[in-house]
Structure formats: structure tokens, C-alpha cells
A and B are shown apart, each in its own frame.
Chain A
Amino acid sequence: MDIDKKIATRQSYGEELVKLGEKNKNVVVLDADLSTATKTEMFAKKFPDRFIDVGIAEANMIGIAAGLSTFGKIPYASSFAVFAVGRAYDQIRASIAYPNLNVKICGTHAGISVGEDGATHQMLEDISLMRTMPNMKVMCTSDDIQTKWAVEEISKIKGPVYLRLCRLATPVIYEENQKFEFGKGVQIGEGTDGTIIATGLCVSEAIKAQKLLEEKGVFVRVVDIHTIKPIDEELIIKCAKETKKIVTVEDHSIIGGLGSAVCEVLSEKYPTKVARVGIKDCFGRSGKAEELIKYFKIDAETIAKTVLE
């Protein structure tokens, strides 16, 4: 992990969309007056005829995306996670997930790491909402390299996908040549004293925690779950068997997110004690992203402490 090279996954999203647009003429991008923040403006400049700005009207954006997909288009509907998923929940449910239409919903600015905008803009329930929806697949990527892979990968998956992205610039974890597979987690390290299962920008915090623990002679592995649904049951069970101790980490509510998904797997298939690090059933608040990560206790120190407890 290159701690000094930091890129926000929304930036990677914007850059990769342009490349994808060149490769696949069916890709169209929609935004709801946030293209400078979601970074879809790069696609808009390159392919103005395939970019649709609907204004501040997320429900309508989702419906238009549904209609476009019935003509073979592959729409990437983009907004902040709170509006894309929260504002347009029923539109996603009735017009996309139920008819299983080929629409990609990309929510940037997820989690408390949004920072200064505060609670109204810090979406902490989106994984939970999207995970319960039949036909919907859910991804949350951890760095620039993985996000760029995911943006193209989801264009090849038939049916609806929710891709969760972040505003905050975070370390680049992987090398350019790293291979990923949809539905398969990435194991980082071979430690057997515990497993930290993380998603999104918490993966880099987990890796920092792994190093802190190493200094104390505790050797854990990190599992990066970029695909939350369908989740990599095999890897989770394997880690539970090999390390006994599981800690989940996410910039999302501990209710319904990654932690819940892991607990669902383990409680049914290999009962193991799981500690969930995440936002503890409360709303966010304004502040600097780095401050909030500590304030809400999803930082490396808290993760390391949780493992030791």
C-alpha cells in the first residue's frame, strides 16, 4: 500500500467511465446536477451525446435509466449515495430491481467520510438498503485500482448493480496488475491471530491496523470485501476456521451492512464471534473526514484495539 499516493474512488470512477465509454458505445451516463462532484463531468465532456443531466431529480434519473436500458443501453446513474439510493429507493425497487434491468447505480460520497457537509449527506444505510433488494448486486471498492476494475466489470454483469464510492482521497492499496474477481474477496496477509474483514475506504484503515498489531507481535490478515452481495462465503468461512477471531470494519451503519452480512454467513455456516466496527446506529456530523473517522471510531487504532479485545 502506498500511503502517500491518495486518490478518491469517485475520481477513479470518473476517469474509468471515459475509458469505458470509448470501449462500449452502449454505455450512457446520467447525473443529477452533481457531475463536478461525482466526476462524471469527464464523461460528459468526452461524450456529450451519451450524457444526460436530469437536474436535481434523482427519482426521475432512475426511471430514465430504466427506460434507456430497455433499448440495450448500459446506464450508469450517478449521484451522492444518499440521494441515489435514499431519495430514489422505490424507483430503484419498482423500475429497476423488480424487472431486473441492466442499470448501474453509482453512489459517491458514501459514509461519514463525506466530512463537512454533515449528517444529511453522510449515507450510512445504503449497503443495507441495496443488499435487501432482490436482483440487486452490491459493490464497495477500496482504492483507485480496484474501482477502475469494478467500473468496467459491472458493465459485463447483466442486471442491476449498486457501486458505493467515496469522496475522501484514500491510499492506493493495489498494484496496477492486481487481479480481482467479482464476488471474491481479496486476502491481504496470512496472519492467523485474527481476520479483519473490511470494505471501501476502511480497507486501508484495516491495513494500517494490521501493521500496528504486527508491531505488538499480533499477526492478522485483512480481507477486502469489494463485493458485498453476493458475498464471498467461502473465504469468510475459511478465515473464521483458520483465525477464530473476526472483526468487520465499514464506514456504514453496523446494522445491515458488511458486518451484518458476515454475521449472516457465519451464524448459519460456522458460528464464530464477530466484532463489528462501524457507525453505531447514529447519524453523522460535520467535521473533517480524518477527524470523523476517529470520532466515529472506524480508524486503525480502534480496529487494532478491537482485535486485541
Chain B
Amino acid sequence: MKITNIDALKMKANNVRKGIIEAVYSAKSGHPGGSLSCADILAVLYFNQMNVNEKKPDDINRDRLVLSKGHCSPALYSVLAEKGYFDKENLKSFRNINSFLQGHPDMVKVPGVDMTTGSLGQGLSASVGMALASKMNGAGCRVYCIIGDGEIDEGQIWEACMMAYKYHLDNLCVILDYNHLQIDGRVEDVSGLDNVEGKFKSFGFSVLQVDGHNINSLIDCFNTAKQTKGVPTMIIANTIKGKGISYMEGKADWHGKAPNEEEYNKAMTELDTLEFNQ
């Protein structure tokens, strides 16, 4: 069921954030920073945009989502649980030895996960393959791929971009989670990344810039992407790493660290006190 009410979508995104914190806190490991930065994007995709049915996770004609920045699995698992692919209670088993919720997304074990990812730079190539197959089949399904700004250090990303352009994959929408932080620091310092818009434009993409935490703007962007013909879309989502948890925001330190009990309680309180008009 498609949700169009903006506040209802904000609430979904907030629930996704709660699930992320729950999962990472329970596992005492995982990646909260980058998960939180793409929570709004995932909420809009699964509740407003994508043609998916949690009752039929293997439907060949469903839209696909590839979380190429696979370490942000808590965000994907949380949105899938929120959508009803599996019970939310499972999030507490994240990374446990008996859990199906592996550290990185596993398409064989988890209903709703469309591609196994974790080794960075690979998910976009798989997405290109999916978009190509959809075109070959005349299926008309769309493929969404979320990549990280640290991840685009990988040359394979740019190889995949060239093919997306060559094969006119207008059914492919890539979202760059541009939170400016990777493990060793700011992307500008680690890889010297700049002018991402110019880079992707020169690769032939239709490039859109958006506030990656603004639900309305995200919806507009995804709708524009759907109308775009002949070329793939790159949405540069300007985001904040750790978004939604005050003490995590903008801190590279929270890339791959779990909150302790005190931090967990503080995070949950912050998320619980947000109010939404429905």
C-alpha cells in the first residue's frame, strides 16, 4: 500500500531509525552512521515509490532495491521489517550466530533482500544487470541502487556507470548517500572526491541534487527519475551521517560502532519524543 501522507512517511522513517538502533545495540556491533543517513531514502522508496509486495518477495516483476553499501544492512533490515517482510523482533538477532540477519545483506537468507552485497563497489554492477534483464524481458520494473560516497572510490562503480549509459537504462535510479564521511575521515580528504555532480553528468546520467532527509523533495526526485527517458538517473542525496541521533550526527566515529546502554537509551528517547501529525 502506497503512503502519500508526508507525516506518515516521516513516522515510517523514524521507525526505521528505531530498528537500526535496536539492531546495532543488540548486536553490539554494526554500522549505525551510514544506516541512519539513508533511512529517509529507504522509507520513501519502500512506502511511497517501489512496486513491491511483502507477501510475494520473489515476484519476478517487482521493483528491485540493491543496497550496494551493504554494511548499512541495519537500515535495509529495518525497513523490510517495517514493511512486513519479517517480524521486527528479528532485528534484535542481528549478527547473532543463529540469525538469518547476517552482518551484510544476504539475498538467500533474508526475504526482501534483492542482492547480496558487502564487498563495496559491486552492487551497482548487479543493478545494471537487473535493469538490463528487465528491459530484455519487457518487464517494466525499476531498479534502485543506493551507493555510498566512500564506496565510489571503487573503480567498478564507474565501469558500471558507463554501461548504464551505454544501454540507456532509464529504469535504473542510483542514489548516492552523500554524507561526506568514510572510515578514515572526510571523503574530500581520503579520496579527494569533489564535483560529484560533474563526474556523474559526464558519464551521461541525469543528475538530481536533493536534501536526502526531505521526504517531499525525495518523492519529487524519484518521480522525475521515472519520467526521464533514455538515460539513467543519479540522485545525489545530501545527507548527514548519523542523522536523527544528536550525538551521532556528522561523526565519522559512529561509522562502525554500537551504542552502549546509556547511549541506546538516549537515542531511543530522542526518536520516541518526535511527534507526527497524521
Residues of A at the B interface (CB closer than 8 Å) are 28, 49-50, 52, 54-55, 57, 59-60, 62-73, 75, 90-91, 93-95, 98-100
> Which of B1-9, B30-38, B124-132, B241-249 contacts its partner?
B124-132
Contacts of B121 in A (CB 8 A): 59
B60 with A67: CB separation less than 8 A: no
Selected A-B contacts with CB under 8 Å, 5 pairs: A57-B162, A64-B129, A64-B132, A70-B114, A70-B133
Contacts of A60 in B (CB 8 A): 125, 128, 156, 159-160, 163
| Given A50-B136, A71-B137, A99-B106, A64-B163 contact (CB < 8 Å) | yes
A94 with B116: CB separation less than 8 A: yes
How many residues from B make CB contacts under 8 Å with A?
A: 35
Question: Cα distance A94–B115 when bound, in Å?
Answer: 10
Question: Cα distance A45–B125 when bound, in Å?
Answer: 24
Question: Cα distance A75–B125 when bound, in Å?
Answer: 14
B73 CB-CB contact with A under 8 Å:
no
B136 with A67: CB separation less than 8 A: no
| Given A54-B159, A91-B156, A73-B133 contact (CB < 8 Å) | yes
B107 CB-CB contact with A under 8 Å:
yes
Partner of A64, one of B114, B116, B128: B128
Main secondary structure of the interface of A (DSSP, over half): helix
B160 with A63: CB separation less than 8 A: yes
Question: Cα distance A52–B133 when bound, in Å?
Answer: 11
B119 CB-CB contact with A under 8 Å:
yes
Residue of B nearest to A52 (CB): B132
A67 with B159: CB separation less than 8 A: no
Residue of B nearest to A58 (CB): B159
Given contacts A64-B128, A64-B132, 19 further A-B contacts (CB under 8 A): A54-B163, A55-B162, A55-B163, A57-B156, A59-B122, A60-B159, A60-B160, A60-B163, A67-B128, A67-B131, A67-B132, A67-B133, A70-B114, A71-B130, A75-B129, A94-B119, A94-B122, A98-B106, A98-B116
A73 with B136: CB separation less than 8 A: yes
Residues of B at the A interface (CB closer than 8 Å) are 60, 64, 106-108, 114-119, 121-134, 136-137, 139, 155-156, 159-160, 162-163, 167
Min CB distance A208 to B, Å, is 43
Contacts of A69 in B (CB 8 A): 129
A99 with B136: CB separation less than 8 A: no
Question: Cα distance A85–B156 when bound, in Å?
Answer: 16
Contacts of A57 in B (CB 8 A): 156, 159, 162-163
Contacts of B118 in A (CB 8 A): 94
A91 with B133: CB separation less than 8 A: no
Contacts of A64 in B (CB 8 A): 125-126, 128-129, 132, 160, 163
A59 with B133: CB separation less than 8 A: no
| Given A66-B125, A66-B129, A72-B60, A99-B108 contact (CB < 8 Å) | yes
